[in-house]
Amino acid sequence: MYSFMGGGLFCAGVGNILLVVSTATDYWIQYRQASGYMHQGLWRYCMTGKCMMHSDSIAYWDATRAFMILSILACFFGLLIGIMAFINNTSFGGFDKTFAAGILYFISCFFVLLAMAVYTGVTVNYYGKRYGNWRFSWSYIMGWVSVVLTFFSGIFYMCAYRMHAPIGPMSR
Taking a C-beta distance cutoff of 8 angstroms, is the pair 22, 146 a contact?
Answer: yes
pLDDT in tens, the chain (172 residues): 678 889 999 999 999 999 999 999 999 998 877 777 888 889 998 887 788 888 777 888 899 999 999 999 999 999 999 998 888 755 555 678 899 999 999 999 999 999 999 999 988 887 776 767 888 999 999 999 999 999 999 999 999 888 876 554 544 4
Name the residue among 22, 145, 143, 160 with its Cα closest to residue 101.
160
Instruction: For residue 150, count CB atoms less than 10 angstroms from its CB and return exposed for 0-12, middle for 13-18, buried for 19 or more.
Output: buried
In the chain, domain spans: 1-28+58-164
CATH of the domain spanning 1-28+58-164, picked from 2.40.340.10, 3.40.50.10420, 1.10.3720.10, 1.20.140.150: 1.20.140.150
